[in-house]
Amino acid sequence: MVVRVPFRRWLHVKLRNPQIPHGGLYCLLPIQGRRVIAAVARYRRPDQLEYKAFSVFVREYGEILGLGENLIWTEREDLVKWLDALVHNSYTCHSTPGVGRCWSTTTNF
């Protein structure tokens, strides 16, 4: 499988339904196309959020983006590191059939 379009950044989408105790969705925004849900925040207890990789995302992107084995987090900072790594890995794994890898990342100081 090939990542046809790399992700440019991630986004936290808050859900505004007071009847559902939910912390929102974490989506990846591709350069072209629609956003992809990567993780869900939900309340384990009334005062504690749990962050979990979205099962459909894991199934579709697990092997090509190197998602890791720990896909549940209790700290938002750990989720943010994972999302940042996904954006980076999507660039390094992006390729076009017949062309090979065509994206690279650079850092400007």
pLDDT tens per residue, range 89-98: 887 776 555 4
What tens digit of pLDDT does each residue of 66-94 get? 677 788 999 999 999 989 988 888 877 76
The domain ranges of the chain are 25-94
Per-residue model confidence (pLDDT) at position 16:
73
pLDDT, residue 38, reads: 92
Average pLDDT over every residue of 21-40: 87
Written as six digits, the tokens of 35 are 């956003």
Residue 52 in contact with residue 58, Cβ under 8 Å? Answer: no
Q: What is the pLDDT of residue 97?
A: 52
Alpha-carbon span 53 to 65, nearest angstrom: 13
